[in-house]
Amino acid sequence: MNSNLKLSIIAALAAGDEILKIYHTTDFEIEFKSDQSPLTKADKAAHETLCTHLRKTPYPILSEEGTPIAYAERANWKTFWLLDPLDGTKEFIKRNGEFTVNIALIDQQTPVLGVVFLPVTGELYFADRQGSFKTKKTTDFEEMLKNALPLPIAKARKEFIVLASRSHMNQDTKDYIQQLKLQGKSTQLITKGSSLKLCLVAEGKADCYPRLGPTMEWDIAAGHAIVKFANKTVNSYPENVPLLYNKENLLNPWFIVE
């Protein structure tokens, strides 16, 4: 296994442990950022844990919970870590389990490695050029990797499964789903939180995830890698071109995962 991927998995599992310690307490110490999105002490603890591990590599780190880095500096980065230490903070606060630890390695503006870990369920998705895989956390690290299944895991079904955000559904997304129905697709809509939605498309449990609303690069980079190396796509909508990373503006365009 690629040493950077192994390190990323170890870092994600460690961050998940720190998140769960706080998840099972009564005080998340909730704050609100300038955009009114919530921030908890679990977000901060996960950020510190990931950075402690990933600083062992020569690559710079861009994290949602880190200090903002000017584009003048970032523009010179060829390869860097892109992190969302706790994706789905709203789901964390609701205690519904649908939050993830996201680690991506970006090279030349495209994801070349990704790890997405769900601390509550122990589900772990990871990917690099060798493919995308899913496993479940166990106490034996090597056994956990040995039991990983390649993605997608094919499942025959009649319905076309569309995913949407549990906390960010909007009218544009509803209109897109209606278009699918008008095309004659027998469509079932499922709402989920965090980057789990990208992983479910990569896994083959869903067919499409339209995100016709704002997201940031760190929200989807790790999931993008899982999708990409499962031979599926994350393309802008309606332009239908692959998403790029480390843009001057870190806001993503609308996109479709399929």
Helices 196-203 & 217-228, crossing angle to 10 degrees? 10
Query: Rounded distance, CA 252 to CA 249, Å?
Result: 8
What's the pLDDT at 38? Answer: 85
Q: How sure is the predictor about 35, in pLDDT bands with cuts at 50, 70 and 90?
A: confident
Least confident of 168-182, 211-225, 241-255: 168-182
Average pLDDT, the chain: 93
Q: How sure is the predictor about 171, in pLDDT bands with cuts at 50, 70 and 90?
A: confident
> What is the DSSP pairing of strand 160-165 with strand 187-192?
parallel
Smallest CA-to-CA distance from 60 within 81, 76, 45, 41 is with 81
What's the pLDDT at 244? Answer: 97
Residue-wise burial string across 180-211, b where 16 or more C-beta atoms lie within 10 A, e elsewhere: beeeeeebeeeebbbbbbbbbbbbbbbbbbbb
Query: Rounded distance, CA 83 to CA 91, Å?
Result: 18
Residue 154 has pLDDT above 90, yes or no: no
Q: How sure is the predictor about 36, in pLDDT bands with cuts at 50, 70 and 90?
A: confident
